Amino acid sequence: MALSEQFDVTKHDDAPWEVLYVGTPNIAGHLTPEGSGFRLHDSVDNDLGLFGTVEHALTVLYGSD
């Protein structure tokens, strides 16, 4: 399963990127570019860690549901 089928990522230049459940306005989490990776927070702002790729972060987010 491609995680792009589960989430929509809206990129922002100056704010955390929103991660929404695909086809809904429901926020699953946020990604913030940090150094060479991405800091992931879930929908209640728990820090889930720093990941090297968006795909890896989404895998962790998917597993946290």
Domain count, the chain: 1
Tell me if residue 61 falls in helix, strand or coil: helix
pLDDT confidence tier of residue 65, bands split at 50, 70 and 90? very low
The sheet carrying 37-42 orders its strands as 7-10, 17-21, 27-34, 37-42, 47-51
What integer pLDDT is reported at residue 64 of this predicted model?
Answer: 59
Range of the domain at 47: 3-63
- Tens of pLDDT along 22-64? 999 999 999 999 999 999 999 999 999 999 999 999 999 888 5
SS3 50: strand
In this predicted structure, what is the pLDDT of residue 4? 63
In DSSP notation, 9-46 reads: EE--SSSPEEEEETTSS-EEEEEEEETTEEEEEETT--
SS3 assignment, position 59: helix
Residue identified by tokens 């989430």 is 7
Find the mean pLDDT for residues 3-24.
89
pTM above 0.75, yes or no: yes
